[in-house]
Structure 1
Amino acid sequence: MASLQADPLQITGSSENATQSPKEGPQDISEDETITAKHDLSFYMIMFSLAVVVFFSAMDATIIVAAFPTISHELHGGDKYAWIANCFVLASTTVQPLIGQLANIFGRRNPMLISVSLFALGSGIAGGATNIAMLIAGRTLMGIGSGGIMVLTELIICDLVSLRERGKYLGLILGGSGLGVPLGPVIGGALAQANWRWVFYINLPVCAVTLALLVVFLRLRHTPEASWKLAFARIDYFGSFLFISSITSILLGLILGGTVFPWSSWRVVLPLVLGVAGWALFHVFEYSSWCKEPIIPPHIFGNSTTSTALILNFISGMLLEWTTFFLPVYFMGVLTTSPLKAGVDILPFTLFVVPCSVVSGALITIYGTYRPIHWTGFAIGAIAYAAWICFQLLVAGSIGLHMMSTLPAVLAPLPESDVAAALGTFAFLRVFGWVWGISIPSIVFNGQFNKNLSQIDNEALRATLVNGASYGYASQGFLLSLTKKEREQTVKVYAQAMKTVWQVAATFSAVAFFMVFLEKHVVLRTELNTAFGIEQKKKGGGAEV
């Protein structure tokens, strides 16, 4: 029976611990043991720095939405909307598993500093863009930096606190990403009214302060390879190529489908088919003897609790984006509010997610169990979505409860040596869920809207709203320009389409609820056993290496 150390940050980072066999399970830790973590100034400064940069990194995924009309007008890029809006998500999603492997090879500190620097560099390029190509290049660099920031933030937290404590800190800091995504369009719209370039320049002082703090305080243990040649030889080059190219292909199909091209177009079908085939080939290669150190080790899927929690994480990310994207459509198309009021109306959802995420993490720390939180979160979501008039606080509570509480379930059955790879996979699936959280409800909404268009008598109006055009016309100005009869008919069609969108969301939430039964209760480790972590100073003042 392992005893709880007086200070969980007293790390036993020997090479033996760092190379624990993937087959080894977690140590047997008593559920009755209490947590008495003691943290110093470095710990809290690291946490503060991570919280700030995570918020701005997540916000930049959506900040361009409201600013795009202004940017498009000045840079003449109206037909490049899909690329400008989604190059950030493409770049940030595809690199995350590779970032996890690089953090194992080169440590956490340098990859984090490079990620923040790339994010700042991309922000500067995008803010100073004189054409669309320059803007896309800047946004892509920002995306790569953001992908690294998100993975490494979670990984650093896991290096600093025990598994039992992680939910609390992850909920507090990474809940900021759940806040940043929906606030992005609001902040972007406000900045664009003054000067759209500050949509990107605002990141520069934030990154400068964050980098300064991280350089001073982010002093983590790391045992480097004997030479750079040996370090670079560990990288899974071919697996990374297969993964990045196949996921990029899938994301391109999802992003372009139904917006730039119809779903039946070969320009959508071909990338999806090639992407799925490439993704399957990637997993075959990772499982083969040719791959010496996979970026996504196959054995992490061998445990039902880890596999189930990864799927729940995907569904959670999908439902977050699903709600964020379609609540404004509901407010404007069904309740006929203005875009400004729709932005205000979504605030209850936005502001309630983070506190609920923090509460879920605290509950895990106190009680050491995650399944009741998952059941509660997905059950509330199923009920709230099924009511189809989306009760914001209930949905926010649902997403907040399961948004970060799935990570302890992913990590609990795995040894600490698998944390980086598992976190890379976890972060990828969450953001991958964001993309599906737009694609699936969009397909449902378009299908239902087209199905019920016959209820609108005006043929010209039906032609205006068909095949996805209804998104752009879901506004108070357009609806009030119609006659009373036309407005009532159009709002009714919007309401019917939105009802189905919420019902499908309820179905996913219900499926997730029943999937929780596949999770097993695993005692959450209360000791910290890692080769990484804050350097412990010797009594003489030097750092312990």
Structure 2
Amino acid sequence: MASVLPSPMLGAFEQPVIHPPALSMTPDDETTMSEAPDPSNLSTRSSMDMGSEAEKATSAPVDDAEKQELRTVEFEKPLSNREIQLVFFALSVAAFLGSLDQTIISTAMPTIASQYNALPQQSWISLAYLLTSTVFQPIFGRGTDLYGSRLMLFLSIAFFDVGSLFCAVATDFIWFCSGRAIAGIGAAGLLVVCMIIISQMVPLRDRGKFVGAMYARTAIATVLGPVLGGIFTRFNWRWCFWINLILSGPAVAILLLFIKKIPNKKRPGVSFKDVDFGGIILIAVCVVALCLALSWGGTTFAWNSPVIITLLVVGSVLIPVYILYEMYVPRFPVIPLDMFRIRNVVASTGNYFFSSVSMYGLSAYIPSYYQLVRGDNQLVSGLEILPYVGTIVIFSTVVGYLMSWTGRTRPWMWAGGVVNTIANGLLIMLDGTLPRAVEYVFLALSGAGVGFIAQTNTVSAQSKVAKELLASVTTMTMWSKSLGGIVGIAMQGSIISNVFQKNMFADPAAAPYVDQLKALSDLRSLPPDIQELASRSYGKAFSTMMIATTPFVAVGLLFSLTAEPADLDRKSGAEKPEEDEVAPKAGDTGSQTGNGDLAIVSEKPADAI
């Protein structure tokens, strides 16, 4: 009977994709569910040493029987199509909540800070969450590789729900911000571990559909967050956090129901003493210092202030220190540096980082543009981001299916980079003078470009590594997006603030309203001529922001051009290399690292693009 892989679009009973029968496997064919083991091997394969598996991966080709014996057990029992759908739905809900919690707070922050009499400190509501979610992403990713995805998944959910509960019942501002920091730890794990489990749960050829659908759901959370936050704030802002507990309940129930079938590949022989505490401390201090510098620079402190300079110096100095430490000290580093010898990993992380500099900033500042330049209210301006996010949702889903259909990643990466670069260049003209319909078209074009690369980078990087690095590579691609977003939002916020104030205060008539204008608050109470001046000034600032970020998108495109063809018919580390894979040699991009991680690189298929 043919093996059938379900569609990730739960609830839409689409025609499933039919793959070749698994019972007639030849040396050139693969079973559809690559990670599903032969039940007859479960008793002998559950405690396989991954180091010996890596050594076998470099040996000469063997026959089909030996290939079946070498298969790595990642499920205790195979998942049926319906079970895959249910587990994917639960993981999608978890990742959706992790994304929603980042944006739902945006419209509620002033109200929350006012209730705690902490308006001057309201930035900590988002900053506490940002710091922990950024620091803990690589930690959860490496933890999944070493200790298994089940432990990391439920740890993430526990942190997220406990943090949300703290926020919902907090009686003072310190308690509330502590809850935000705890929830940020959980969100880091949710976003990373859910994507890793999906990557372990479906074969490489079909992975784009599921990864694309996951990105579509997180993009929807970007739009819904501010809208839901505004609605809840009108009644009781604490529902911004109660909703996390309510919606996570069904997801947890489903995951517990199938806990024995959730992929749980982990490295045997790893103990508590193998935890890279030194690397964790170094990466935490480095990321926190740089995040604080980028968040405070130009707003809380001047860029040339001693505080910002100190933070930038500390963060910058710790980068080479961290790299040297990870190269020579820990057995299992937080970030396995050997994966950066693989071209597709560098291409994907570079593309994600530079593209995200623009992507996250657009999501943050499009509503502000329509409020301050077009004079729309908060609800309308929140909906006007739909052309941008809507096309991200559509194209990330469609391209996922195209990847599975064609087995190609590079054409979609390149198309996305070209479209995104052109669209960002066109958005330079958003200064309040274009017809709204034209602005919406430009935003939709930019969203389409982002949708093209939303999942292609992840799958492209995964296609070149063995199972030992799958979790780390998946984490690194996602972390590069987060880091690019932090840089982008900080840079764009500084540009908008400086250009707006420069243009605004060039007119002496604006001097009496300096406090309102600097805060960009309650502008409708200003005289009509000052409102018009503020509108023009913000339009120029937004245009300048796009001038600054468009080159970053172009650099991301250049990174994507360096990617090698991805063979999506191979098994990403599911078993020993087939004939189109080569054992790493001296000078190759894949190698056996000192800590036992193995990066296996496929040769270019003759017909690959």
TM-score range, shorter chain: 0.7 to 0.9
Match of 2:527 in 1: 482
Distance 1:224 1:284 in 2: 26
- Does 2:342 align with 1:303? yes
Q: Is the 8 A contact 1:91 1:144 kept in 2?
A: yes
CA distance 1:18–1:174, shift in 2 (3 Å): farther
In the other structure, the counterpart of 2:467 is 416
| Counterparts of 1:256 and 1:349, CA distance in 2 | 28
1:293 is matched with 332
| Higher RCO (CA 8 Å, separation ≥ 6 residues) | 1
1:385 aligns with 2:424: yes
Instruction: Summarize deviations over 1:96-145 as a string: whole Å, max 9, x none.
Output: 11112211222111211121111111111110000001101111111111
Specify which of 479, 489, 493 is matched with residue 537 of structure 2: 493
Deviation at 1:47, TM superposition (A): 0.3
Choose which of 303, 321, 342 in structure 2 pairs with 1:263.
303
4+ runs deviating over 6 angstroms: 22-25, 223-227
| Map of 1:166 onto structure 2 | 207
Question: For residues 177-188 of structure 1, what are the structure 2 equivalents within 5 Å?
Answer: 177-188=218-229
Contact kept in structure 1, 2:351 and 2:457, CA below 8 Å: yes
Q: Which moved more, 1:12-21 or 1:506-515?
A: 12-21
Quote the Cα distance in structure 2 between the aligned partners of 1:179 and 1:18. Answer: 41
* 8 Å CA contact 2:464, 2:572 repeated in 1: no
**Residues of 2 paired with 1:23 and 1:504: CA distance?**
50
Q: Would the aligned equivalents of 2:457 and 2:477 in 1 still touch at CA under 8 Å?
A: no
The one-letter amino acid paired with 1:164 is: R
Amino acid corresponding to residue 273 of structure 2 in structure 1: A
Distance 2:219 2:149 in 1: 23
Does structure 2 conserve the Cα–Cα contact (< 8 Å) formed by 1:320 and 1:434?
A: yes
Does 1:150 pair with 2:169? Answer: no
CA contact (8 A) 1:46 1:218 kept: no
Letter of the 1:5 counterpart:
T
Describe the shift of the 1:454–1:75 C-alpha distance in structure 2 as closer, same or farther (beyond 3 A).
Answer: closer
Classify 1:213/1:386 alpha carbon distance in 2 versus 1 (closer, same or farther; 3 Å).
same
The alignment's TM-score, normalised by the length of structure 1, stands at: 0.88
> Which residue does the alignment assign to 1:3?
29
> 2:383 aligned to 319, 340, 344, which one?
344
Q: Which amino acid aligns with 1:472?
A: L
Q: Which amino acid aligns with 1:456?
A: D
User: Conserved in 2, the CA contact under 8 Å of 1:22 and 1:418?
Assistant: no
In the TM superposition, what is the alpha-carbon distance from 1:439 to its structure 2 partner? 0.8
SS of residue paired to 1:99: helix
Match of 2:415 among 376, 386, 390: 376
Listed as ranges, the matches of 1:221-236 within 5 Å are: 222=264, 230-236=270-276
Task: Single out whichever of 434-443 and 384-393 deviates more from structure 2.
Answer: 384-393
| Percent of pairs with identical residues | 24
| Mapped contact 1:382–1:506 kept (Cα < 8 A) | yes
Relative to structure 2, which stretch is displaced further, 3-12 or 213-222?
A: 3-12
C-alpha distance in structure 1 between counterparts of 2:414 and 2:263, whole Å: 37
RMSD of aligned Cα (Å):
2.7
Q: Residues 110-129 of structure 1: matches in 2 within 5 Å?
A: 110-129=151-170
Other structure's SS at 2:103 match: coil
| CA–CA distance in structure 2, aligned partners of residues 276 and 164 of structure 1 | 39
Once the two structures are superposed, the pairs formed by residues 14-93 of structure 1 within 5 Å of their partners are 14=45, 15=48, 21=54, 39-93=80-134
What are the ranges of 5 or more consecutive residues in structure 1 without an aligned counterpart? 29-36, 532-545
> What corresponds to 1:407 in structure 2?
458
Compute the displacement of 1:89 (Å). Answer: 1.5
What is the distance in 1 between the residues matched to 2:465 and 2:266? 23
Task: Give unmatched runs, 5+ long, in structure 2.
Answer: 1-26, 62-77, 431-438, 576-609
Contact persistence 2:348–2:460 (CA under 8 A): yes
- C-alpha distance in 2 between matches for 1:11 and 1:395: 42
Task: In structure 2, give the amino acid aligned to 1:109.
Answer: R
**Aligned residues of 1:316 and 1:402 also touching (Cα < 8 A):** no
Note the C-alpha offset of 1:348: 2.5
Q: Distance in 1 between matches of 2:351 and 2:99?
A: 20
1:453 positional shift: 3.5
Q: Distance in 1 between matches of 2:512 and 2:418?
A: 40
- The count of aligned residue pairs is 513
What amino acid maps onto 1:497 in structure 2?
A: A
1:316 Cα shift?
Answer: 3.2
What residue number does 1:138 align with? 179
Cα distance in 1 between the residues matched to 2:352 and 2:220: 17
Instruction: In structure 2, give the amino acid aligned to 1:492.
Output: R
2:495 is the counterpart of 1:444 = yes
Give the corresponding residue for 2:594.
Answer: none
Following superposition, the deviation at residue 182 of structure 1 comes to 3.5
Cα offset, 1:369, TM superposition: 1.6
Q: What's the counterpart of residue 448 of structure 2?
A: 397
SS at match of 1:202: helix
Alignment partners' CA distance in 1, 2:230 and 2:52? 49
